[in-house]
Structure 1
Amino acid sequence: MIKPDDSSLTAEQYTTVRNSVIDLLNKSDAWGRLPTPIDDVMAAAKLKLAPISAFDEGVIERYARKFGLAAKTLVKSAIDKVLGILDVHGNIVHIDGSVNKEKQNFLKLHETGHNELPHQRGLFRWVQDCKKMLEPDISELFEREANIFASIALFQDGHFAKVTADSPFGIKVPLAVGRKFGASAYASFREYVRRNEKACAIIVLNAPTPCNIHGFKSDVRRIDPSPEFVRRFGGLVLPETITPDSVMAKFIPATGKRMSRPNTLALEDRNKVVHEFVAEGFCTPFNVFILMHAKLTLNKTTIIMPAGFKASA
């Protein structure tokens, strides 16, 4: 199932978040330092990483001995739904240490965002003091704001985009540059597309699994188009599951391979003009990433679009 939107903000909301990040990057003297100095950024925000995380199994067991198994089950259930926790009173961030270092970097900055955005920090203090819950729409907005905060901070606003712009467009570029910033492949691909001037998109799939009917299947997790892609082609519509007969299947790396060779496909723009796209894939143990970008305009009378692949107005 395609994941719900986790990063869209209005222009005003984005400006508010960006201004907070810029201020913090200035305070931490983080500009141009690679990888992005997460510890210095957190220190500038007066936050500390918990020496013993609430996600630590030993902490949960001690909690169980003190408050009982029912309390342990409740806490474990709550923690299983998140990867980071901000203690606004102690100025302490708890991070799930079971995820990789690059993911932890993003999570640290995400929780820092909850603390640094004034409207969030004040409300979180009230929520924790009064043992209340945020309304779902407010909670979702706060999560989107914190995600954008983490992205801007991790990639030092436009610095990542400037570095990647020096290289020809391709799937290896955000991977190589993202590692220098201390970012995961997932975050790097999304940042690469979001700030790119080309009509491009990143399609994120779950890792393929065996299927008795089709041979394998891979569920579409997320589709992120660039602003130029949206302007020219609208949204990108795909079936929820990719199978071997899908036009996108050829971009999934073969078993044992990390990347697929660049290949082409065609897509109509809003004016019914057909464009050639180049796409290539990269896989991790958890996801497949397909990066595509518009290359040439083709004669639309000679192209037949495959079923299940189209742009939406």
Structure 2
Amino acid sequence: MVKVTVLGAAGGIGQPLSLLLKLNPKVDELSLFDVVNVPGVGADLSHISTDAKTDSFLPSSKEDKTALGNALKGSNLVVIPAGVPRKPGMTRDDLFNINASIVRDLSQGIAENAPDAFVLVISNPVNSTVPIVAETLKKNGVFNPKKLFGVTTLDIVRANTFLAQLFPSEAKPTDFNVRVVGGHSGETIVPLYSVGESKKFYEKLSAEKKKELIHRVQFGGDEVVQAKNGAGSATLSMAYAGYKLAEAIITAQSSSSVVECTFLNLDSSIKGAAEAKKLVKDLEYFSLPVKIGANGIEEVKYDILNEATEEKQLLDVAIDQLTKNIEKGVAFIKK
């Protein structure tokens, strides 16, 4: 029995993400929560002839906590795409003051109603919202670092796609699984093209082309924001990326060979986390490849940082920026 709850299910990311989850044969129950429009989304999805039972939950007022509690009860996996999207000229940091409160309140609901669930955080800025979720769960005495995932999968999706686009006659996006480490905004995003199957293609590029490619991965979200001309940000590709990580966690319940990148808390209870922490100047959070099992993150694959000699400078910049992003999230709850 797998119950998945989507918090922010009626939004631009939430709707396509909920559709993808409804199509997953391993999902038995799909629970949809939002503060607007969610009954319509739920009704629409419930007509799809897959086995996942679909329910929607809409609060009757701002003070109503019952709807959130009912949506979350019994959940194995909770995905949070809730919050406002980026608009042209808006940075992820500009979103912070709005989305931080939303994520905090939803995290409180998780702590009270689904403390054992896997939690996937999509709401931006991820570098700060993941620490907000962690600190809220800690306050409630239910934090499990092995079950908290910051979704950085879109950076990997873009890294694979953009490299393949440079070699249209030689490669397809599905040929690659580029490891992208660091965080999930601008220069905190570090695609490790010099490692793995992408290396032989990456080496063919001039220094200038390499620089352009990395910049495109780091600021790919801006392309979508500008192309949508004020009508939104990356929603479809983000929904796909969020679903990919959710699917990996569901698959990991019956498989021991699932490895994905995620923005995680480098807690010493996780194998390899202490070693990873030393390599990233004692940061509490960092995106790295992790081995996922039935109980969550089993091991951090930190060795990739030693292999990525070409990206050393990029990593230094990412670490410097992440320090401030993480502190911002932690301070928001502690104050």
Q: Is the strand fraction higher in 1 or 2?
A: 1
Structure possessing the higher relative contact order (Cα contacts under 8 Å, 6 or more residues apart): 2
| TM above 0.5 | no
Structure label with greater radius of gyration: 1
- Greater percentage in helix: 2
Question: TM-score scaled to structure 1, two decimals?
Answer: 0.29
TM-score, length of structure 2 as denominator length: 0.28
